[in-house]
Amino acid sequence: MKKIITTLLLIFGFTFSTSYAGTLVINTDTSDPAPKAAFEMIIKKFEEENPDVTVEWNLFDHEGYKQSIRNFLNTDPPDVANWYAGNRMLPFVRAGLFEDVSDIWADSGWVDGNLSENMEHAKKSMTIGGKQWGIPYTYYQWGVYYRKDIFENLGIDVPTNWSQFLAACATLKANNVTPITIGSKYLWTTAGVFDYLNLRTNGYEFHMDLTLGKVSYTDPKVQAVFDKWDDLVKPGYFLENHAALSWQEALTPMINGEAAMYVMGNFAVAPLKEGGLTDDTLGFFQFPEITAGIPKAEEAPTDTVHIPSKAKNKTDAKRFLIFMSRADVQEEINKTLGQLPINKNSGVKEGDPFLAAGLNMLNNAYAMAQFYDRDAPAEMASEGMKGFQEYMSNPDRRQKILERLEKVRQRVY
C-alpha cells in the first residue's frame, strides 16, 4: 500500500513539476523523419539561446494528432502546438482555444524587422476576424510534376496554356502513356486538381468566395471549372482506378514510366526520387494558364505554430513563436524539411531545382491559396472532396453532385 501511495505521489509530483515557469511544453505532429529532425534541431537551438527555458516536447503521430489536438487543447493544453493555416484553424479559433497573437505580428520591435512586412503574403491566411492566431514557418508549392524523359522522347514541350496541355495529354495517351496519375482513395488529391482548375479558370477571388461559402456550387462559374475538368476526365487522361489508390501508390505508374504527370505538392519529390527518378528524368512546371489574363495564384499550404489559450506558460510560448518567425530559424528549419520558408529574408537550400522553381513561382504569385480542405470549413471540404472523387469516376453525374454540394453549402455556412 505504502509503495502504491509513494508511486502515486511521484507521478503527481512529476506532473506538477512539469508545469513550473520556465518549462515550455510543445506538442507537434511532426512524426515523419524530416519534420522530426527539423523540430529536434530547432528546439535544441531555442534552448541554447534561452538557457532559462526547458522545453518539453511531445511528439504525436501525424494522423493521430488530428484527433488528439481536440482533446489536449481542452484538457491538457501545451504551451505551443503546431497546426495549419486557413480555415483549418477556424474551429479552434471559434471555440476560443487558440490565443490571439496579433501583438507579435504588430510589434516590430520584437523581431528582426517588421513581421507583418516579412511575411505579408502569409498574413491573410493567418487572419480570422481581423486578428492573427499563429505564426507560419513553412510552406511548399503545388504544381505539375512530370517525366522529362517521356516528354522529350515524344517531342512534347512543357505546356503553358490549356490547349497545349490538352495536346500534350492527347499525345501521351496516343502513345499508351497515362497522361496524369492520381490516387484519390483519401480524397484530398482530387481537391488539388479542382483548386488549380478553379484558380486558373476563375481566379483567386472566386476560389476564396467559393470556399467561404459566398457562391453557389451551381453557379455557372463552377460549371465552367467542371467543363475544363471534363476535357481531362472524359477522354480518360487520368489514371484508371484512382479511387482504389493512395497518393503514394499512384506514384508507382509514374516511376515505371506508365504515367507522365502528377498534380501534386513538393513532398512527392522525395518518394519519386527514392523510386529511382533523378533531376534528369523528373521535372516540374507551373499549372498552365486557362483563362488568359487572370493573375496566377498558387496553392501553398502553410504549416503554423499556435499558443493554446489555456496554456500555462504564455510568456515563453510567445518567445518561441517570435523565435520561429526569425529569418535565420526559418531558413534552417526549411533546409531540413526540404520546403520553403515564409520569411522573405530567409535563404533557400541550394542545388534543389524543385525548391528553386517553387520559390521563383511563389515569389511571383498573385496570391496563395491554402488548399480546398484548408480554405473551406471541414464539413464542406469532406463532402466536396467526396463529390470530386465521384465526379472523376462518373462525369455524367456532375449536375447531381453539384446540387448535393449546394445543399451542403447552405447547411454549413
Sign of CA dihedral 379, 384, 385, 387: positive
Residue 76: is it exposed, middle or buried by C-beta count within 10 angstroms (0-12/13-18/19+)? middle
381 binds another protein (CB under 8 A): yes
Of positions 37, 158, 167, 187, contacts another protein by CB under 8 A: 187
- What is the nearest approach in angstroms of another protein to the Cβ of residue 396? 13
243 binds another protein (CB under 8 A): yes
Q: Which of 246, 182, 206 is nearest to 391 (CA)?
A: 182
Residue 40: is it exposed, middle or buried by C-beta count within 10 angstroms (0-12/13-18/19+)? middle
Question: Which parts of 100-119 interact with another protein (CB under 8 A)?
Answer: none
Q: Which of 359, 365, 357 is nearest to 347 (CA)?
A: 359
Helix H or strand E segment including 299: strand 298-299
Residue 210: is it exposed, middle or buried by C-beta count within 10 angstroms (0-12/13-18/19+)? buried
Residue 280: is it exposed, middle or buried by C-beta count within 10 angstroms (0-12/13-18/19+)? exposed
Of positions 36, 45, 66, 123, contacts another protein by CB under 8 A: 66
Helix H or strand E segment including 168: helix 162-174
The overall longest dimension of the chain from CA atoms, in Å, is 81
Size of the site for another protein (CB under 8 A): 35
389 binds another protein (CB under 8 A): yes
Of positions 36, 45, 70, 296, contacts another protein by CB under 8 A: 70
128 binds another protein (CB under 8 A): no
242 binds another protein (CB under 8 A): yes
Of positions 6, 170, 244, 353, contacts another protein by CB under 8 A: 244
379 binds another protein (CB under 8 A): yes
333 binds another protein (CB under 8 A): no
- What is the nearest approach in angstroms of another protein to the Cβ of residue 246? 10
97 vs 233, beta carbon nearer another protein: 97
370 binds another protein (CB under 8 A): no
390 binds another protein (CB under 8 A): yes
- What is the nearest approach in angstroms of another protein to the Cβ of residue 244? 4
Q: 330: helix, coil or strand?
A: helix
- Sites of contact with another protein (CB under 8 A): 66-67, 70, 73-74, 91-92, 94-97, 184-187, 240-245, 249, 252, 373, 378-379, 381-382, 386-387, 389-390, 393, 404, 411
